[in-house]
Structure 1
Amino acid sequence: MLLAIDAGNTNIVFALVDDETIVARWRIATDPRRTADEYAVWLSQLLALGGRDRAVVEAVIIGTVVPRALHNLEVLASKYFGVEALVAGRGAATFGIALDVEEPHTVGADRALNAIAAHAAHHGDLIVVDFGTAATFDVVDYTGAYKGGIIAPGINLSLDALVTAAAKLPRIAIEAPASKTVIGRNTADQMHIGIYWGYIAMIEGLVARMKAEIGRPVRVIATGGLAILFEKHTQVFDSIEQDLTITGLAMLWRRTHISAATY
């Protein structure tokens, strides 16, 4: 089986992939100081809980936007799984898509991987919205080329900034307001409305502007851990695909593996 590792700014997702099927996934907070040994203990316990041994992992691929976390993840692959990890975007695991932007080398691995997976699953022009530490809005054209996008603060980041900067505001949970009114009658309700409906307004407004600029029919794909938070209160998404980045990693590994075998 393949161990696909998506290392983001807030969390690292480890997924066990059998052929094209994700059979298990685990999430841990991103900490660049965490050693390969710590990852191994944690993963071994989770594998055992699922009735699996470390030996089921035959290959590892890593996609990361946190350079400091990469070394220990590579050591994890070599020391505990006996394989050399592929790193998305490097060496044999180049993305294989056109990065049609001014600075292609600055495109995050997660955004390129999302583009790969989204284009494989959908025809035509796409907007991929990924809700992570930052919210990214990426355009993938009908040829599969990455054309650019938008980076905005993630909803948790926005809330943290608000609470940190305003001494008397309480910390609230990220959730849809209980009432549909947008005129709050107390401080907590007003914060829920501002954060949640403000974010919905941002999503809808940015997507509308992107669609107008593209000028052709566009499908909107949402991914990331918080995507389901918004789906009931906006019609802007055509589909929500939680595992888009992991799927992109698995596709990249298969393509690289097949190319190597053919060569």
Structure 2
Amino acid sequence: MSKNDSDTSKKTLYLDIGNSSIKGAYKVGTQWMVLTDERIFTALELVNWIQKHPDSFDEIVIASVRDDVTEAIAKELKHHKIIEISVSDIPRDLLNYETPKTLGIDRFLSCYGATGQTNKSVVVIDAGTATTIDIMDQDDTYHGGVIIPGIWGFSEVLSRKAPALPFVEFEIPKQWPGKNTVDSLKWGQAGFYEFGVVGILKKYEEEFGDYELFLTGGDATVLEGLLKKESKVRPFLVFEGLERLVNQLKAKK
């Protein structure tokens, strides 16, 4: 961790730099606000936006899986106060994971944001470009998870490998099994995805016992309707976990 202090009253911009996009959020009172209505896809676009709003934020907190993007942003924003959070900032006793150096910090942060809202273990499904399904116990120990293609990954594979097949909506047909090509494809895409996720959730319950289910990511609401299982949709989980971790690290200094 670098360049931080104990002043928690400052307005802070939180950045989640993933493999395919950069997302930003900040708080107004207790409410989270997105940086823009659309995802920011490049470091240059982000830097330009921040430079057009130079007095908006006193500090910028970055959690990133892309060192090159982080370095580029920090270089261009050298006059801003930057706090970089990496996996090395996570207390080692909270990581029951064999290869912390390869862990995408967003996976930990989503779970950490969820356990801050309950006294139970949590399973967090982040439904984005990829779907991650991770578990953290009630003592904030991260136990790992599963990575599968995102909701649209299945249809993209078929469209590339079998372009003659028709495009179908991502939904579960009313009749089982599919009695026509369109419904057969729907079962193969939405149904296969649902069965896989449900099976993983059942495995977690068998291994770890009861938990609360949290959904986040761009396709969280689609997944919510698909699973028909009690869950909490929290679009800002990564930022909530990032804020929680930063505040705890500041308190220790």
Q: Tell me the amino acid that sits aligned with residue 65 of structure 2.
A: V
Aligned pair partner of 1:119 in 106, 115, 133: 115
Aligned pair partner of 2:191 in 178, 183, 197: 197
CA contact (8 A) 1:5 1:15 kept: yes
- Cα distance per residue 1:43-71 (max 9 Å; x no partner): 566xxxxxxx4312111111122333222
Question: Aligned-pair distance for 1:187?
Answer: 4.0
Partner of 2:90: 95
Partner of 1:49: none
- What's the % identity of the aligned pairs? 23
Distance (Å, rounded) in 2 between the aligned partners of 1:219 and 1:232: 17
Deviates more, 1:63-72 or 1:112-121: 63-72
**Residue 209 in structure 1 maps to residue 215 in structure 2:** no
CA contact (8 A) 1:116 1:248 kept: yes
* Partner-residue secondary structure (3-state), 1:149: strand
Question: Given the superposition, is the C-alpha separation of residues 163 and 17 from structure 1 closer, same or farther in structure 2, using an over 3 Å criterion?
Answer: same
Aligned pair partner of 1:223 in 194, 216, 221: 216
* Partner-residue secondary structure (3-state), 1:9: coil
Partner of 2:18: 8
* Partner-residue secondary structure (3-state), 2:78: helix
Distance (Å, rounded) in 2 between the aligned partners of 1:184 and 1:206: 24
> What is the number of residues matched between the two proteins?
241
Partner of 1:28: 39
Question: Aligned-pair distance for 1:172?
Answer: 4.6
Question: Given the superposition, is the C-alpha separation of residues 233 and 246 from structure 1 closer, same or farther in structure 2, using an over 3 Å criterion?
Answer: same
Between structures 1 and 2, the one with greater helix share: 1
Distance (Å, rounded) in 2 between the aligned partners of 1:105 and 1:139: 18
**Residue 71 in structure 1 maps to residue 71 in structure 2:** yes
* Partner-residue secondary structure (3-state), 2:94: coil
What RMSD, in angstroms, separates the aligned Cα atoms of the two structures?
Answer: 2.4
Q: Tell me the amino acid that sits aligned with residue 64 of structure 2.
A: T
Partner of 1:50: none
CA contact (8 A) 2:87 2:101 kept: no
CA contact (8 A) 1:5 1:61 kept: yes
Question: Given the superposition, is the C-alpha separation of residues 218 and 180 from structure 1 closer, same or farther in structure 2, using an over 3 Å criterion?
Answer: same
Q: Tell me the amino acid that sits aligned with residue 21 of structure 1.
A: Q
TM-score (norm 1): 0.80
Distance (Å, rounded) in 1 between the aligned partners of 2:105 and 2:206: 27
- Cα distance per residue 1:77-126 (max 9 Å; x no partner): 425xx222323335xxx123610122222221101111211111111222
Mind listing any 5+ residue stretches in structure 1 that lack a counterpart? 46-52
**Residue 176 in structure 1 maps to residue 171 in structure 2:** yes
Question: Aligned-pair distance for 1:18?
Answer: 3.9
Distance (Å, rounded) in 2 between the aligned partners of 1:149 and 1:230: 18
* Partner-residue secondary structure (3-state), 1:138: strand
CA contact (8 A) 1:95 1:113 kept: no
Mind listing any 5+ residue stretches in structure 2 that lack a counterpart? 1-10
Question: Aligned-pair distance for 1:41?
Answer: 2.6
Q: Tell me the amino acid that sits aligned with residue 247 of structure 2.
A: R
Aligned pair partner of 2:239 in 226, 230, 246: 246
